[in-house]
Structure 1
Amino acid sequence: MDIVEFLSERISEDEAVARTLLGDRAVSKSGAWYEQRLLLECEAKKRLIRIVESARQSALAAMVSDTDPELGWIPQSIEWMEQSLYALALPYYDHPDFEQGWLRA
């Protein structure tokens, strides 16, 4: 499982829990606020993952298809993008599918 797939699955799980709790009439107003906030955080993470993954794929495509010596920045940029994804995975460190190599960020 790659980091993007892992994050997408965890965020979907978080969203499902938040939606379930929002449907529970026993949840207090502060609890409902928190769950709404969690849903917004999930959406923000999904958007960030799409941006980073799009940039990463573009950089990989440029690196593979071009021999321009000015493209030396691409490997370092790809590393930064991966580090960003690893940082987003940190809250899920105790999940069985979490890879310890993602902690190297």
Structure 2
Amino acid sequence: MDIVDFLSERISEDEAVARTLLGDRTVSKSGAWYEQRLLLECEAKRRLIRIVETARQAALASLVSDPGQDPGWIPQSLEWLEQSLNALALPYYDHPDFDQDWLRA
């Protein structure tokens, strides 16, 4: 499974749990605050994934579009982007679909 697909599925699961808990009238005010915070964190992660994926696609397009160009910066950039996604996946390390290769920093 691709890390972006993995993250998207986990974030959707987190969001569904938060929405379910927010609908529970027995949840305290602090619990509701936490669930609202979780929803915002889900959105922040989605935005970050879009940014990273856009940067990754731009780096790959640059590599393909101008083969004569010195691509020295591209591999390093792609490594940073991969590390960013790996960091986002860390909280889900115990999920059965988690790839242990994503633990490397």
TM range (shorter): over 0.9
- For 1:53-100, what per-residue CA distance to the aligned partner results, in whole angstroms no more than 9, with x for missing partners? 010011111112212433310011001000000000000000000000
| Aligned CA-pair RMSD | 0.8
Residue 28 of structure 2 aligns with which residue? 28
Q: Determine the C-alpha separation between the residues in 2 that align with 1:6 and 1:64.
A: 27
Question: What are the ranges of 5 or more consecutive residues in structure 1 without an aligned counterpart?
Answer: none
Residue 86 of structure 1 aligns with which residue? 86
Structure that is richer in helix per residue: 1
Q: Determine the C-alpha separation between the residues in 2 that align with 1:72 and 1:66.
A: 13
- For 1:1-56, what per-residue CA distance to the aligned partner results, in whole angstroms no more than 9, with x for missing partners? 10000000000000000000000000000000000000000000000000000100
Q: Determine the C-alpha separation between the residues in 1 that align with 2:69 and 2:57.
A: 19
Residue 73 of structure 1 aligns with which residue? 73
How many residue pairs align between the two structures? 105
| TM-score normalised per structure 2 | 0.97
| TM-score normalised per structure 1 | 0.97
Question: What are the ranges of 5 or more consecutive residues in structure 2 without an aligned counterpart?
Answer: none
- Give me the identity figure in percent: 84
SS of the equivalent of 1:90 reads helix
